[in-house]
Structure 1
């Protein structure tokens, strides 16, 4: 059983409407190196994890939200937990690139256990992506 002390990469496959748009967004904007690919899919190194954009336009995009600390969070989303300075740097880069946030960069659960910085935005296919950071990474699973 994995523990929080083991660094085990995850694999996530998700649908996109355009591989070219996925390459531009994940490869160029987010800086994720491209791995293997075919005419129907491309994989990226997403902060040490393998994500794979599969050409499936009819499946792309988020559809439902759930309330979390006053925000309408997309139910289907993925992302990464970054160190706070890296999270802030990414937020600044995304703002400079005129990214349209669906949840602006801010601190959630302020003053509570699990206080975290978070931001949500959509990729070109409408898939929701979240980046978060904890001032105290040990609080990531705290109750």
Structure 2
């Protein structure tokens, strides 16, 4: 399948959380994701045009966090996230920094001056799910080698 798309299709991701109220506050108020449908057991969020669903699970806190060494950082695995424009990424990084947000990996620029230059930052939601936000000045370099 070609990696060149005129319009990307939204992805869908379902993930466990231990507290729907904390998820609603975090994804809605902290990240600014609009809420969609919900029940007593799950909540849909508009995650930058993608559908993510927080599912209530008693086992949400049972998984032990693991990481992989990348560029001198311990990158949490697994993780999910979104690719933003560099301006959007910088605005998010500034907003979270101003909130004295707890980052797993603080905002920084990877591959500076090289193909694939990108801003990146990592954090965890209240249930421990790891999230990465990337920013590209040139989205066509997303898969650059």
TM-score relative to the length of structure 1: 0.93
Determine the structure 1 residue equivalent to 2:33: 32
Q: Deviations over 1:47-81 (max 9, x none)?
A: 11000000013134662101111111011111110
Q: Give distance in 1, aligned partners of 2:142 and 2:130.
A: 21
CA contact (8 A) 1:62 1:126 kept: no
Q: Give distance in 2, aligned partners of 1:16 and 1:40.
A: 10
Q: How many residues align?
A: 143
Determine the structure 2 residue equivalent to 1:12: 13
Q: Which range is displaced more, 35-44 or 132-141?
A: 132-141
Detail structure 1 runs of 4+ shifted over 6 Å in the superposition: none
CA contact (8 A) 2:60 2:127 kept: no
Name stretches of at least 5 consecutive residues in structure 2 with no aligned partner.
Answer: none
Name stretches of at least 5 consecutive residues in structure 1 with no aligned partner.
Answer: none
| Cα RMSD, aligned residues only | 1.5
TM-score relative to the length of structure 2: 0.92
